[in-house]
């Protein structure tokens, strides 16, 4: 099981809508938010996280990758739903990964709104062990501009509910490879990384990730663990996200909307910037 049917990701609701000064009763759809229990070999306590049902196996292994427990496909011996349940996942780890399960330190269940909530420490040791990413790849600046429209066009559940975040993976030419949706920004990225991990596609050198919301430091950290060299978002990064991107030498792009974007780190991966600066200097003279 890699995904639940679409009906699980959305729930019907009866509401009153104010239209032209009058309340009108109508039916609508909401994005589902429900708990998922992840039981990991080597960890005494299960992880309970809130998510939008669907691609739960990817979410489980992606979350463990983001915590530094899983480092590659070989670390996962088995991942499957518990019998007779659609809200619980079992992850069986290789002994080497099982020894890293102590990094799973959460005092409380994690909400879909915050990947840090409940953690007993801010930064897992895995991030400190990562070397900065090497230079490259280079992409044309005009390759970035259409990506938000491509992402929105592929968000099927968002179009029905209006209540989901997305994380999308593109190749260096701007071709969409995979997209995952969830009520949580962190979950959407975990599902995407989990898809790549289960398909033995890590590390993600030569790829771009586009996030539908703001960029927190933890989202940059998850991308660093997956070796994503270019991270884009339609909204703003936090100060710590920029600091982390510079530390790992990730190209961080924010406010990617229409014909503009802001570039916060590692500009050398974006072709066309030098030409733009030269043209502006010529015009000024």
Residue by residue, what is the 3-state secondary structure of 7-64? HHHEEEEEEEEEECCEEEEEEEEEECCEEEEEEECCCCCCEEEEECCCCHHHHHHHHH
Count of CB atoms situated within 10 Å of the CB of 24: 10
12 bridge partner residues: 29
Annotated active-site residue in 114, 117, 223, 232: 114
Three-state SS at 201: coil
N- to C-terminal Cα separation, the chain: 63
Domain 139-277 has CATH 3.50.50.60: no
CA nearest to 179, candidates 146, 212, 201: 212
Count of CB atoms situated within 10 Å of the CB of 231: 28
The residue behind tokens 């600091």 is 243
pLDDT interval class at 147 (50, 70, 90): very high
| C-alpha to C-alpha distance for 238 and 73, rounded to whole angstroms | 31
What confidence tens digit (pLDDT) does each residue in 162-196 have?
Answer: 668 899 999 999 999 999 999 899 999 999 999 99
| C-alpha to C-alpha distance for 208 and 256, rounded to whole angstroms | 13
Q: Could you tell me how far CA 224 lies from the centroid of its own chain?
A: 12
**Domain residue ranges in the chain:** 34-127, 139-277
Specify whether 223 is catalytic: no
Check whether 96 has a pLDDT greater than 70.
Answer: yes
**So what's the pLDDT on residue 228?**
98
Asked whether this chain's domains 34-127 and 139-277 adopt the same fold, the reply is no
CATH of 34-127 given 3.40.80.10, 3.10.20.10, 3.40.190.10, 3.30.460.20: 3.10.20.10
What confidence tens digit (pLDDT) does each residue in 40-87 have?
Answer: 988 888 999 999 999 999 999 999 999 999 999 999 999 999 988 889
pTM of the model: 0.86
């Amino acid at each position: 099981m890699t995904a639940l049917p679409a009906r699980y990701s959305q729930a019907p609701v009866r509401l009153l809508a104010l239209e032209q000064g009058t309340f009108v009763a109508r039916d609508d759809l909401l994005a589902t938010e429900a708990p998922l229990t992840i039981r990991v070999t080597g960890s005494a306590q299960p992880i309970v996280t809130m998510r939008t049902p669907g691609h739960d196996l990817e979410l489980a292994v992606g979350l463990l990758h983001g915590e530094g427990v899983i480092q590659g496909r070989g670390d996962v011996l088995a991942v499957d739903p518990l019998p007779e349940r659609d809200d619980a996942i079992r992850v069986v780890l290789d002994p080497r990964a099982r020894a890293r399960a102590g990094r799973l330190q959460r005092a409380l269940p994690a909400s879909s709104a915050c990947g840090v909530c409940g953690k007993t420490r801010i930064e897992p040791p895995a991030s400190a062990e990562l070397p900065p990413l090497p230079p490259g790849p280079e992409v044309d600046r005009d390759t970035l501009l259409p990506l938000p429209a491509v992402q929105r066009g592929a968000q099927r559940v968002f179009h029905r509910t209006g209540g989901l975040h997305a994380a999308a993976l593109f190749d260096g030419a701007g071709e969409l490879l995979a997209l995952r949706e969830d009520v949580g920004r962190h979950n959407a990225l975990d599902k995407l990384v989990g898809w790549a991990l289960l398909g033995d596609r890590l590390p993600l050198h030569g790829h771009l990730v586009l996030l539908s919301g703001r960029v927190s430091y933890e989202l940059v950290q998850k991308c660093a663990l997956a070796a994503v060299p270019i991270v884009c978002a339609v909204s703003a990064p936090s100060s710590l996200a920029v600091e982390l991107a510079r530390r790992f030498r990730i190209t961080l792009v924010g406010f990617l909307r229409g014909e503009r974007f802001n570039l916060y780190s590692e500009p050398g991966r974006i072709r066309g910037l030098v030409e733009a600066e030269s043209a502006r200097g010529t015009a000024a003279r």
